Structure 1
Amino acid sequence: MTVHTPKDWAEFRDRLLARKQELLAEIHAVEEGMEAGSGLGDVMDTKDAARKQENLDVRRAEVQRDETELADVVAALQRIADGSYGECIDCGREIDIRRLQARPESMRCIACKEKVEAAAHH
């Protein structure tokens, strides 16, 4: 099934725009929470300090994950705008509609994604 129709693109664009707003809100909320609770000076013992630092590290990792996904979402929106949405950025073949339905920000077909992941693990 092809996704090269304006109707399909509009549906994916709407989903991507909604996800973009969710991610921006999540990033903002976590960053505000980190700013509010970042002071380690008021901690009375090393266990509290370690726990607080661990929480900050987890929040930073959450923001980093969300920022990576946000970049993928923005790139997918750009591909919709330039007419290349639904095409693998590596081989140019059409990305399976089921993959796009599951992850509308997908930029690679399954075969190319697996190649990239295999190379990253070596």
Structure 2
Amino acid sequence: MPNWSTYPVIVLLTSIVWLSVTFLTKPEKDKTLFDFYKQTQPGGPGWERIIVKARAAGTALVTTNQKWSVPAGILATLVGCVTIYGALFSTGYWIYGYYTKASILTLLTLIATVVLVKLWQRIKTRVF
């Protein structure tokens, strides 16, 4: 097998196994899902069916009105990458005397930093 095909084959085989296990095993009991939701309050659209099912069973699951922060967290991760790489490359450009590129990247890094701080303030939650 050529070297380039090793990773795609591993991904394919792994995907076949986890999809098979997912569809061939019994789902968790509703009580287990209800207990998990009560403890973690995961949020997101994927849990809506469980919340509706719990309401129908007379169980209250939602104990907080916090917004789901995963999309904002993903965006913060991407903006953080722009900030870090912008700082690294702009520093290199300043050192090697490419002042135009350095100035543009420094400005981009500063803007990304401000955006990151605002995102962080929005998604910051209290951890127990």
Larger proportion of helix: 2
Whether TM exceeds 0.5 here: the answer is: no
TM, length-normalised to structure 2: 0.38
TM-score (norm 1): 0.40
Q: State the structure with more CA Rg.
A: 2
